[in-house]
Amino acid sequence: MRPCEVNPQIKRLKKVFGVVYFVQGMSSLPQLSFFYYMMNVLKLGPVAGQLFQGLDHVAWFLKPLWGWTSDRFPLRGYRRKSYFCLMATLAVFSWFSIALCAYFKITAMIPYFLFLNLAQLAYAFVDVVVDALMVERGQELNQVGHFVNFQWMMLGLAAMLVALFSGWFQTKIEGGKFSYALIFALTGLFPLLTLIIGVKNLEEEKGIYPQVSPVSFWKKFRNPFKSFPEAKIRFRNFEKEYRAVLLLALFTVAWNFSPSVSYAARAYWVSHLEFTPLILGILGAASNVVLLLSILVYRWVVRRFALIQWYHYLYAMVALGVVSLAAGYYLYLPPGHPLSFSFSFPWERILSLAAGLKESVMGSWIYRLLEGASHWNRYHWWALFTETTLGFASIAAFMIPLTLAGEVAQRHHAGFTYALLMSVSNFTNAIGNVAGGVLYKLFSLSAMTGFMKGFETSLFNLSHSHDSEVLILQLFVYISAFFTLLAIPFVGMVRRELERKGIKVKLG
């Protein structure tokens, strides 16, 4: 295909991919307002609110089902475009329905739960369809890495806008200038943009596909179980064809799994290190801004230094991950510890220089931000450093596995294969949170007193703390470092399999 034919196609695809990922990011715009709406209007208690939030993203864990549906059951002769338009329309309908419920002051929880889950189903299905197109067209045009980078750049842009405006919207709502219905309806305009861009730029030839019924599907796949030898042969053929996918799935598990105690760690920050909701909000906003900047820098680096291979980056990310965990250890060191250090800023001089800004609206906001920062302690600044600097440098650890998934996904089953690999990643992270909670509870049991006492008196207790909470959090630093190092052999296995299959990974 000549470059003049390729470039217009790439531009149209980037419009679709970019808008879909931007809209996914903007779906978080009403998240803060919806939290206050549940608490203040729907009057949901802690248990009901937690259950509501825990069940409103179920559709994302079922992405392989949506991918299989798109692959196997064409709609009006199309495997991608029909589902894309249908689900974008469903998202618009869902958010406008939520806005109407808020406008008419309906306080029953069920309508909101139903429409929010329909919106998430629509987002997840559109995401699967777009990722399938990215795999199919990206492999065909040798642009998988370029498409992945662009998708997540747009998501990062949306995340930055959400961080900047979600709190502002809630402030206007509490001030009586905006209503909850307005922000919910505004969120529905973004999937409408998805629909318009998709109709204008999504190209797919209408095909005649064999109709697959559940009965014929079962007949096709029950045969391997009739005889063990036949099943063994079929399994070997399956393993040979999908070996790269299976290895990448194992790599994804090793890469993402780590027992997490993020909630317990943040609770410790709040109770012992004077972290306030405002400080945590600033950390979150800074993290989202850095996400976009890091994606832009990553795109430049992989283009500028094309000779550096993907596995070189991943080995470096393993090392950086261990360093990042060690840096997080600083939060558990008391001020007088030998490994601790302090730093200070000349805040009086900075505030006196910034005093002239208070006359303008934006300047007044900047001055108040600086004034609040003058009261931060060293733990606050260190958390900002780890959330931004180390997060900025580790973006390759997030982007490269996505590119690998796009390269090894089977083109004729692109919807299912890519969605499966993404679901493995999401599910592994969820299991990591559960495992972290279980281990935290285990270390807290009286039966583990001897083990914890041994750790307390060992050289590994760098903080010299005798507090059980700090000891457990320190243990998780070592546990997380161990699981981070476990990813190293899987990098080598995936590399050898890609070389065997002749798959060349282009990151930029």
pLDDT tens digit sequence for 38-67:
888 988 876 577 567 667 777 887 888 888
Residues 175 and 26 both lie in one domain: yes
User: Looking at the structure, do residues 132 and 266 belong to the same domain, yes or no?
Assistant: no
CATH for 427: 1.20.1250
Do 307 and 452 belong together in one domain?
yes
Same domain as 504, residue 429: yes
Same domain as 379, residue 250? yes
495 and 405 in one domain? yes
- Could you please report the per-residue DSSP string of 430-495? HHHHHHHHHHHHHHHSGGGHHHHHHHHTSTT-TT----HHHHHHHHHHHHHHHHHHTHHHHHHHHH
Collapsing DSSP to helix, strand or coil, 81 comes out as helix
Q: Is residue 207 part of a domain?
A: no
**Per-residue model confidence (pLDDT) at position 54:** 64
- Rounded mean pLDDT, 262-290: 76
Same structural domain, 120 and 237: no
> What total number of domains does the chain contain?
2
Tell me the per-residue pLDDT of 1-39, one tens digit each, with 9 for 90 and over. Answer: 444 445 788 888 899 999 999 999 899 888 878 888 888
The reply to whether 211 falls in a domain is: no
Question: Residue 451: is its pLDDT beyond 50?
Answer: yes
Is 37 in contact with 167 (CB distance < 8 Å)?
Answer: no
Same-domain pairing of 174 and 278: no
- Model pLDDT, residue 210: 53
* Mean of all residue pLDDT scores within the chain: 80
User: Which of the two residues, 163 and 159, has the higher pLDDT score?
Assistant: 159
383 domain-assigned: yes
Q: Per residue in 189-238, pLDDT tens?
A: 999 999 999 888 888 777 655 554 445 544 544 554 454 555 566 656 65
* Strand partners for 78: 75
CB 409 within 8 A of CB 417: yes
Are 280 and 386 part of one and the same domain?
A: yes
pLDDT at 95 (0 to 100)? 96
Residue 214 pLDDT: 47
Say what the pTM is: 0.68
Domain range for 298: 230-508
376 and 305 in one domain? yes
Same domain, 444 and 380: yes
8 A C-beta contact, residue 261 and residue 269 = no
First-last CA distance in the chain? 20
Q: pLDDT (tens digit, 9 = 90+) per residue, 60-86? A: 878 888 888 888 888 888 888 899 999
pLDDT confidence band for 341 (50 / 70 / 90): low
